[in-house]
Amino acid sequence: MRKFIEASVNVEKRQVDCCSNGCVALTHKRSHLRSRDACATARYTSTGKPARQMTSWSVPAWLTNMLGDPILGPVMMAGMKAARNAANRNSDGKQKEGLHDWYDGLNFLKALLAGLFTGDTDIALSISTDGFEVWRQRGFQGWPIIVTVLNLSLSVRTGNICQIVVAIASGPRQPVDLESFLHPLAEELNELA
């Protein structure tokens, strides 16, 4: 999947040290550890190189590519404008027209009232992850971390171009601490905010 992403679009990436068993990413509070606290394997090989690294693709770079696209960019801005207008129509907290999409919910209304979405270039994101087993006989699993741009219409939002893979935690089993793999993404989102 990493090779497919890199062949499809030029996106900034960084390497994140992680457990060779896929237990944890060595981020945040684990960034200083020399061995993994979840499975006690060494962080570095005998040559001093990280035993394993996970590729993390930059969310700002993905979003810049999307906003710069002559088709997606205007659609994303129009989507945020429509979302803000719909939320303003329902600003009394009552869903007059019913729930049709993410912007009809009270969470978006609260975020809008808090001043988090003030312009058409603001972007609402959804983050998800789920595991899949690649080779059953080998017991290898992958846990992609996917960011979805909610500004786009549902038919466009569910397309491959709008499902942004930002990292893939992989190993023989489910990560012990999936949150540790989310830290590089959280750091970028804090920077964007």
Output the tens digit of pLDDT for each of the chain's 193 residues: 566 656 666 678 888 888 777 777 767 665 565 555 556 677 677 888 887 788 888 888 888 888 888 988 999 999 999 999 888 776 665 555 566 788 888 888 889 989 999 999 899 999 998 888 776 666 677 888 899 999 888 888 887 777 888 888 877 777 777 888 888 888 888 888 7
Query: Which residues touch 49 (CB under 8 Å, ≥6 apart)?
Result: none
Tokens of 183: 């830290």
Element (H, E) at 14: strand 13-17
Tokens of 119: 């312009």
**CA distances (Å), origin 40, targets 24, 78, 140:** 11, 50, 20
| Residue 108: inside a domain | no
Amino acid identity of residue 110, one-letter, is K
**Residue whose tokens read 């900034």:** 12
| Residue 102: inside a domain | no
| Residue 170: inside a domain | yes
| Residue 116: inside a domain | no
Residue 130: its pLDDT value, please? 85
Taking the C-alpha atoms of residue 92 and residue 166, their distance in angstroms, rounded to an integer, is: 37
| Residue 159: inside a domain | yes
Burial status of residue 171 (CB atoms within 10 A of its CB: 0-12, 13-18, 19 or more): buried
Residue 185: its pLDDT value, please? 87
Taking the C-alpha atoms of residue 112 and residue 106, their distance in angstroms, rounded to an integer, is: 10
Split into its structural domains, the chain has a count of 1
| Residue 24: inside a domain | yes
Query: What SS3 state is found at 81?
Result: helix
| Residue 85: inside a domain | no
Contact criterion met (CB below 8 Å) for 184 and 153: no
The whole-model pTM stands at 0.76
| Residue 81: inside a domain | no
Residue 75: its pLDDT value, please? 92
Domain carrying residue 150? 2-68+122-192
Residue 13: its pLDDT value, please? 82
